[in-house]
């Protein structure tokens, strides 16, 4: 049966495992029983078990010394040609034997330095850069020279460098793309070349060399809107996270920008602008262009996952819904965001030992993100817990620009909001503000929500009065101020923690410092970062060669991530695993996704055995120097 096209049944179904296996059992996201294996455990140098929060990826011997990294790479390149190939270049890391074999003596300083030494040098150079943008350009240059060194450095300092190589710094780089541009990377598909798309794509990378295509049309970039051709950097940024988190070989990822013009006057008037200098193509011509691209991917790259990124809110899920029954396609803005929030919510519900249907849910801000998250929860209530549409609606209160959404707002509702309105007669006696709207505080007083989700981009909207009022009526309030960047968050977790006396279960959309509970224990607040889940999605699709990315596969990944919440062992801990465990999280998510693909019959593999973690681990690309062997082609 084809997967439904409605937005994100992420926690809506119980995903049955393909085969009963201790390695790959499907997880019911909202079960309240305690889970096993909630924290990742890694082997230290002496074989001791090291808690995940004290481990760094580069110290993990399994990661550094996996047997697959001992297999040589064959190449016919020698001398400067080898040094100029970033996927093979080792810089000072070439051994003396390799220098002799490949004609590198005299082209490099004499001493051989380990990858760790090179990372220390690069990190020292990075620290000398005066701004985040300067650090970004340094790292981009490093990637252009030495792929292994770039990814190894980023993995060793993941928490510190993630905001540099991705959001928020990449947003600044995108806005200045035509100014800071040095070297092309990725694939630029201009509307002017619409009749040559197939030839251009096949010339860029052969189908057998591509596992993942990340594409944007640059209209909805990171909350800064239309950025034209500079959007290629968002495709590259997502590609970097797929490699860092999922271990997907960077040489097998194709970042793409669909350059259909721009409506950004600053770009159109910039003499240095590098993109198609015209107003953005819209309507039927735009649809035909995107449709042609998706068709080519399906026909020529049938095993590749297609990731759509930062399309406008009107287009982001439209193409996913159109093509999801034909090919493996995914939109991180909608599906990834909802998935990681649902995983955090599943963890919180597990801590409170309740069912999702026992909760009263208030969503503050019902725009694209809020609506996507609300839809995911609503579908979970209906399909996981058996509620009808009307019964699910009764669990929700939605507050948007006109205050609490009720049936009196029917004529002004945006598509999808109708599922979350209350009957106007039900709230007729509630207090209204001077504009005649029912404000957030009044909804808190009257509805007594147990879950409060913020997607409003209204800084400090969750005031002390609002949080304290909510905490009066629930033992463990679940409060997610998800708006980002940090300056737009509805509340600071430290304040929420203080106002609830350490009882709130929290997740945020941006990183915040740890908070201190009344018992003096430091508590890491969960960051609902999409990076925790979409690299595992991609890895699972690639491992299973899935020709579709189904709701069941997404649901399995959500369950696997929720299972790893430290809070399920210790209620005072985070609702999501830490970002520095990203590679290990991605393996577990990928196993669940790949086995769901087998169970649903969308895996293009002839196998009966379920995937296990070691098998997925062997598929990951690691940023380590593998031995080189000279061959004549």
Predicted pLDDT at 385: 84
Q: Which two tokens stand for residue 13?
A: 């179904």
Predicted pLDDT at 67: 84
Catalytic residues: 166, 238
Predicted pLDDT at 64: 60
Q: Check whether 437 is labelled as a binding-site residue.
A: no
Backbone angles phi, psi at 448, to 5 degrees: 55, 60
CATH class for the domain made up of 72-158: mainly alpha
> Contact at 8 Å (CB) between 598 and 607?
yes
pLDDT-flagged residues of the chain (< 70): 1-65, 633
CA-CA distance, 251 to 242, in Å (whole number)?
12
The three-state DSSP-derived secondary structure of 518-539 is: CCCCEECCEECCHHHCHHHHHH
Q: Would you give the DSSP letter of residue 407? A: G
Predicted pLDDT at 65: 66
Backbone angles phi, psi at 416, to 5 degrees: 100, -25
Predicted pLDDT at 238: 97
Under the phi-then-psi rule, with left for phi > 0, alpha for psi from -120 to 50, and beta for the rest, what region is 322?
alpha
pLDDT tens digits for 235-286? 999 999 999 999 999 999 999 999 999 999 999 999 999 999 999 999 999 9
Nearest to 15 by CA among 7, 23, 24, 6: 24
List the 329-331 sheet strands across, edge first.
Answer: 187-190, 253-259, 212-216, 305-308, 329-331
Q: Do domains 72-158 and 166-327 have the same CATH topology?
A: no
> Contact at 8 Å (CB) between 351 and 570?
no
Buried/exposed 470-507: b ≥16 CB within 10 Å, e otherwise: bbeebebbbbbbbbbbeebbbbbbebbbbbbebbbbbb
| Angle formed at CA 457 by CA 453 and CA 461, multiple of 5 degrees | 65
Q: Which two tokens stand for residue 155?
A: 């993995």
Q: Check whether 484 is labelled as a binding-site residue.
A: yes
**Fold of the domain built from segment(s) 166-327:** Rossmann fold (3.40.50)
CA-CA distance, 255 to 212, in Å (whole number)?
9
Tell me the whole-structure pTM to 2 decimals.
0.86
Residues pairing with 73 in the sheet:
628
Report the 10 Å Cβ neighbour count for 277: 15
341-527 homologous superfamily: NAD(P)-binding Rossmann-like Domain (3.40.50.720)
CA-CA distance, 525 to 531, in Å (whole number)?
16
Instruction: State the pairing for strand pair 396-400/187-190.
Output: unpaired
| Angle formed at CA 217 by CA 215 and CA 221, multiple of 5 degrees | 95
Q: Helix count (H) and strand count (E) of the chain?
A: 24, 18
Q: Which two tokens stand for residue 193?
A: 């070349």
Domain ranges of the chain: 72-158, 166-327, 341-527
Chain centroid, CA 425 distance in Å: 41
On the question of a cis peptide bond just before residue 485, with omega within 30 degrees of 0, the verdict is: yes
The three-state DSSP-derived secondary structure of 43-101 is: ECCCCCEEEHHHCCHHHCHHHHCCHHHHCCEEECCCHHHHHCCCCCCCHHHCCHHHHHH
Q: Which residues contact 457 (CB under 8 A, 6 or more apart)?
A: 223, 365, 483, 488
Q: Check whether 89 is labelled as a binding-site residue.
A: no
> Contact at 8 Å (CB) between 356 and 380?
yes
CA-CA distance, 209 to 326, in Å (whole number)?
21
What 3-state class would DSSP assign to 271? coil
Where are the strands (E) in 325-416, listed by range?
329-331, 361-364, 396-400, 403-404
Predicted pLDDT at 63: 59
Q: Which residues contact 508 (CB under 8 A, 6 or more apart)?
A: 480, 481, 482, 484, 489, 493, 525, 526, 527, 528
> Contact at 8 Å (CB) between 584 and 52?
yes
Report the 10 Å Cβ neighbour count for 299: 11
């Amino acid at each position: 049966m084809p997967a439904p096209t409605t937005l994100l049944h992420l926690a809506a179904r119980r995903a049955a495992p393909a085969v009963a296996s201790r390695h790959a059992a499907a997880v019911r996201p909202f079960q309240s029983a305690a889970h096993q294996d909630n924290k990742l455990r890694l082997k230290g140098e002496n074989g001791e078990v090291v808690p995940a929060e004290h481990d760094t990826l580069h110290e993990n011997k399994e990661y550094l010394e996996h047997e697959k990294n001992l297999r040589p790479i064959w190449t016919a390149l020698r001398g400067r040609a080898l040094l100029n190939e970033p996927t093979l270049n080792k810089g000072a890391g070439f051994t003396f034997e390799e220098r002799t074999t490949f004609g590198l003596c005299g082209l490099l300083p004499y001493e051989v330095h380990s990858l760790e030494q090179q990372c220390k040098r690069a990190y020292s150079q990075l620290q000398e850069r005066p701004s985040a943008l300067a650090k970004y350009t340094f790292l981009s240059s490093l990637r252009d020279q030495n792929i292994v060194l770039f990814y190894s450095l980023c993995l060793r300092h993941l928490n510190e460098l993630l905001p540099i190589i991705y959001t928020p710094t990449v947003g600044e780089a995108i806005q200045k793309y035509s100014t800071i541009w040095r070297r092309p990377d990725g694939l630029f598909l201009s509307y002017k070349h619409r009749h040559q798309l197939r030839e251009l794509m096949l010339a860029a990378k052969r189908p057998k060399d591509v596992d993942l295509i990340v594409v944007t049309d640059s209209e909805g970039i990171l909350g800064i809107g239309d950025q034209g051709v500079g959007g290629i950097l968002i495709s590259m940024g997502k590609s970097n996270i797929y490699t860092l988190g999922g271990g997907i070989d960077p040489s097998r990822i194709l970042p793409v920008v669909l350059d259909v013009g721009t409506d950004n006057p600053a770009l159109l008037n910039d003499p240095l602008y590098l993109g198609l200098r015209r107003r953005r193509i819209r309507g039927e011509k735009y649809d035909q262009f995107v449709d042609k691209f998706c068709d080519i991917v399906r026909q020529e790259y049938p095993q590749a996952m297609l990731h759509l990124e930062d399309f406008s809110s009107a287009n982001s899920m439209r193409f996913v819904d159109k093509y999801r029954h034909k090919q493996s396609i995914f939109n991180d803005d909608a599906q990834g965001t909802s998935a990681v929030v649902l995983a955090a919510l599943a963890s919180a519900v597990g801590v409170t030992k309740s069912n999702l249907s026992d909760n009263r849910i208030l969503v503050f801000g019902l725009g694209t993100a809020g609506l996507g998250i609300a839809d995911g929860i609503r579908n979970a209530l209906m399909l996981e817990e058996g509620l009808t549409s009307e019964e699910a609606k009764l669990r929700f209160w939605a507050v948007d620009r006109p205050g609490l959404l009720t049936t009196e707002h029917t004529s002004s509702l945006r598509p999808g909001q109708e599922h979350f309105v209350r009957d106007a007669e039900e709230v007729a006696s509630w207090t209204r503000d001077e504009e005649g709207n029912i404000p957030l505080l009044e909804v808190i007083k009257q509805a007594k929500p147990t879950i409060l989700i913020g997607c409003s981009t209204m800084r400090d909207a969750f005031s002390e009065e609002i949080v304290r009022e909510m905490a009066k009526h629930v033992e463990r309030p679940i409060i997610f101020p998800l708006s980002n960047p940090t300056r737009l968050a509805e509340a600071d977790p430290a304040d929420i923690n203080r106002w609830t006396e350490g009882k709130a279960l929290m997740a945020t959309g941006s990183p915040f410092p740890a908070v201190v509970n009344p018992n003096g224990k430091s508590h890491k607040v969960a960051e609902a970062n999409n990076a925790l889940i979409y690299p595992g999605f991609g890895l699972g699709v690639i491992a299973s060669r899935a020709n579709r990315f189904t709701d069941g596969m997404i649901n399995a990944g959500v369950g696997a991530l929720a299972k790893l919440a430290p809070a399920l062992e210790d209620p005072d801990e985070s609702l999501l695993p830490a970002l520095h465990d990203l590679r290990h999280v991605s393996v577990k998510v990928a196993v669940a996704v790949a086995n769901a693909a087998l169970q649903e019959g969308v895996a293009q593999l002839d196998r009966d055995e379920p995937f296990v973690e070691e098998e997925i681990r062997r598929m990951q690309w690691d940023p380590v120097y593998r031995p080189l062997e000279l061959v004549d082609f």
